Amino acid sequence: MLQYSLRRLVIGIGMLVALSMLIFLLLRLTPGDPIDAYIDPNLPMSPSDLADLRRSLGLDQPLPAQYLGWLQQALTGNLGYSIKRIDQPVLGLVLSRIGPTVLLMGTALAFAIVAGITCGVIGAVRRNSLADLSLSVVALAGISSPAFLSALIGLYIFSVRLHWMPSGGMLTPGEEFSLGDLLHHLILPAALLSVAQAALIMRYMRASLLEVLNQDYVRTARAKGVREFWVITKHALRNALLPIVTLIGSTIGLAIGGAIFIESVFNWPGMGLLLVDAVQTRDYPVIMGATLVIGACVIVVNLLTDITYAVVDPRIKVG
């Protein structure tokens, strides 16, 4: 297990370096000169001042040298300073936004797991019934609906029309912090973020449980007179959950992509909103730092998922 974990860790580090190279290259290939983001268009600059600024930022060096210089600083924890917030380091900005994003994604993942597994079990146990067909239609709609569309529809229905939920933010401005106020702002964006994940888990759970219910040991348990409830929960469900472990880990990336849209629509102060603001203002250091942290989180989650799957399923060989 240790060798397997170390091997996966080395692969993850390689993927993270490749991701940083790709993002760095794509940012340099975007239209315009990166130095334009550092210049106030209302203040004239002479060519010599512009050359000095370019030299001080290292933008006069070849692209590989620029990347290696950035990577060397990043390995020490220095991700640079924000262009638009010149007094704030990128690492501090990113760390200040991780908490709200983890809260949003963790709540959404909890919703998705509970709803997806429950609906998947119902669909498998009552196969081809009205409940199964209805849940399948809902799951198909959830998978097909992009996150921004679900966010806009949910915002319009529950905030604009029904006035049940706040239309944005993490807390009510001007009021003291309270857990109830936080939950009131959290429920709607978390529920909307969980839609696609819950639909995927439901479909995989249904298919996995149907496969397990056709196994010989399940038929044997039924032949021995074991109650159907215990056949499902004790014998079938435990084995049917194994593929879901891998699926849950793989949906983290889907949740991060959805969180960017959800946070933008609901003005949730997390990593997604930070990244969107950085892209709009061409804040290159923040884009690089936020992308690097998000990529590292996805890689770590996938690593933990692989290790967890190998632990819970003794049939998996990790040598």
What is the pLDDT tens value at each position of the chain, 319 positions in all? 667 677 877 888 888 888 888 888 888 777 777 777 777 767 777 778 778 877 877 777 888 888 888 888 888 888 888 887 777 888 888 888 888 988 998 899 899 999 999 999 999 888 888 988 999 898 888 888 888 888 888 889 998 898 889 888 888 887 888 888 899 999 999 999 888 889 989 998 998 888 888 888 888 888 888 888 888 887 788 788 877 877 887 777 777 777 888 888 898 888 888 888 888 888 888 888 888 888 888 888 877 777 776 666 655 555 4
Q: Are residues 209 and 302 in the same domain?
A: yes
Query: What is the rounded end-to-end Cα distance, in angstroms, of the chain?
Result: 7
Radius of gyration of the chain (CA): 24
Q: Cβ atoms within 10 A of the Cβ of 254, count?
A: 15
User: Does residue 208 lie in a domain region?
Assistant: yes
Q: Under a CB-based contact definition with an 8 Å cutoff, are residues 199 and 142 in contact?
A: yes
d(CA 200, CA 202): 5
Same domain for 61 and 111, yes or no, is no
Q: Which of 248, 135, 270, 112 is closest to 191 using CA atoms?
A: 112
- Give residues with Cβ within 8 angstroms of 1, minimum separation 6: 307, 310, 311, 318
Q: At what angle do helices 90-125 and 271-281 cross, to 10 degrees?
A: 130
Flag whether 67 is in a domain: yes
Angle of helix 284-312 versus helix 271-281 axis, rounded to 10: 150
pTM value > 0.85: no
Same-domain status, 159 and 258: yes
Count how many domains the chain has. 2
Q: Which of 43, 75, 107 is the last residue of a domain?
A: 75
Residue 169 in domain: yes
Residue 161 and residue 19 share a domain: no
The CATH number of residue 113's host domain is 1.10.3720.10
**Domain span at residue 63?**
2-75
Same domain, 107 and 63: no
Looking at the structure, tell me whether residues 118 and 247 fall in a common domain: yes
Contact 119, 139 (CB under 8 A): yes
